[in-house]
A and B are shown apart, each in its own frame.
Chain A
């Protein structure tokens, strides 16, 4: 009895972890005979609304085109992602759309797909190694620059800023940081503290609470993504400083748009995750039907403020 329950629990846990990994679409496997295309989407994490919107956009487009889109969630782990790409290769999908957890770590996976003859399209983050037929960029540098431009306008060129960084080492983190710093060069806007909050809303609260201890006189907070920005909003609110400190984020997730509307956030950058993924899926289908693709597509960015939502 005890053994049976243990086995049952383990099986249930295993099944649940599959579930937690994201939807494993068991509908139709890649079948060379049928005309239905199967695309494997290896996403970095579905714990972030930005990527959830990407996935939704991708699925809508795939349904429209009659294409099978299988999504696997790596929960921000490069190891998991490597295994998942490996799974796609074994299942002989027609194409892989890859949103790397880390631009360096995904190199071997891309090269493995190359060796197996499966084409790869990267979205949001690049892969530093291997060959991809197309990269859809959201130009994180440009996003940082857009925020900088808006901040200069809002603070009239001078002020103190605290920065909440994303996952240390991720290319998006580096780019969003660099773009912003380039944007404020030559102005009187100073970054007084820059700490990582790991792209997480929870960490965003804690780190902002700590920052406010030492730097309650900051004029703005720039968070590399909306999740952290929303955390910062709560900490600022708890300290009674809403309105006194402007909060900027990137990603334009639903909660951020709400925050813009009610004045808790000042601006965010819409990288149009939905559009990005729709384009990726469309291009993938086109490629598999014989079209050649441009090697790089820049999805236009849009700075969102209360005025232009």
Chain B
């Protein structure tokens, strides 16, 4: 009989942790600089954007939905923030615009899915194009630069030796862990994704929670876009291109199921870290771009297989 332990934190995650450790060992062995503290912190900074957005995606996926527009939202929010900052020089105002755009994107996605009853795949596929289109029109395809140097603190700054974006990412992970695993909200997300009918008949507010999931996704995407803009000290409509794929990869690699109901914060963190380590390690080794793609794809398949076997 298979028992679900009280601590349902590290089930299939052990397999992921194993893979992560193995990868780190291999890269440390092959590259002199991989395992230096500075590089490890570098990796955490590099994955922070993907990881933050992945948290938003996790909420949506737990409900049995999907959000393909995360990259586009990040780009639009970044543009909005940069334009506001450049025009007014006011950081609070820029942050307000960031917040408004993020919430707007999430709300529209959520409303069309929940109330328009259109499959989220279609809604967010369309919004993926539309939102990026809006960003392109807004900027006429040109980068928005000339932002105050101090603004780079968020994406490129440090507190002590730890990158600021890492700290922010850690904070958001802790909040997500708390909400998704320790409160009823996480239970509701999972219930809705695992059995919609039973959830309805158990008096769980389905519409409300799906809306919340999409709004969280929009918010996280916005934060990701904000950090990107800060890091580059400029915003481009083409920023974060392909981000949705990286985010989905992290979430799925981390053990979430696209049909809903299954997924953990720790798994997502490990998934993002594995991909981040692979990217960084290959760069450290100077592996050509041609090979990097093949290696990355292969490692991901192997990781999924290992994780699945560990589950049994």
Contact = CB atoms under 8 A, between A and B. Distances in A.
Interface residues of A, number: 44
Contacts of A22: 141
Interface residues of B, number: 54
B17 interface: no
Interface of B: 31-34, 36, 38-39, 42, 45-46, 112, 116-118, 122-123, 125-127, 129-130, 132-134, 136-137, 140-143, 145-146, 152, 156-158, 228, 231-234, 236-240, 279-280, 283-284, 286, 288-290
Contacts of B157: 238
Contacts of B289: 165, 168, 195-196, 198
B238 A196 contact: no
Nearest to B131: A16
B119 to A, nearest CB: 9
Contacts of B288: 168, 196
Contact of B284 (A12, A214, A230, A254): A214
B126 A9 contact: yes
Contacts of B239: 202
Contacts of B32: 214
A243 to B, nearest CB: 14
Contacts of A46: 141
B156 A234 contact: yes
A256 B222 CA distance: 27
- Chain A interface helix/strand/loop/mixed: helix
Q: Which of B123, B231, B239 has the most CB of A within 10 A?
A: B231
Contact of A195 (B143, B234, B286): B286
A16 B129 contact: yes
Interface string A210-232: 11011000000000000000110
A47 B284 CA distance: 28
Interface string A188-218: 0000011110101110011101110110000
Contacts of B42: 209-210, 213
B133 A5 contact: no
B130 A12 contact: yes
A47 B122 contact: no
20 contacts: A5-B116, A6-B122, A13-B130, A16-B133, A17-B129, A19-B133, A19-B136, A52-B141, A52-B142, A196-B289, A201-B234, A205-B231, A206-B283, A213-B34, A213-B284, A214-B31, A214-B33, A237-B152, A238-B152, A238-B156
A9 to B, nearest CB: 5
Contacts of A12: 126, 130
A258 interface: yes
A20 interface: yes
B152 A13 contact: no
Contact of B45 (A193, A200, A209, A254): A209
Given A9-B122, A214-B33, 4 more contacts: A47-B237, A214-B39, A235-B156, A237-B156
Contacts of A17: 129, 133
Contacts of B118: 2, 5-6, 9
Contacts of B136: 19-20
Given A10-B126, A16-B130, A209-B46, A2 B116 contact: yes
B129 A13 contact: yes
B39 A13 contact: no
Contact of A201 (B39, B116, B130, B232): B232
A9 B46 contact: no
A264 B234 CA distance: 15
Contact of A13 (B126, B141, B240): B126
Given A9-B123, A196-B289, A209-B42, A201 B236 contact: yes
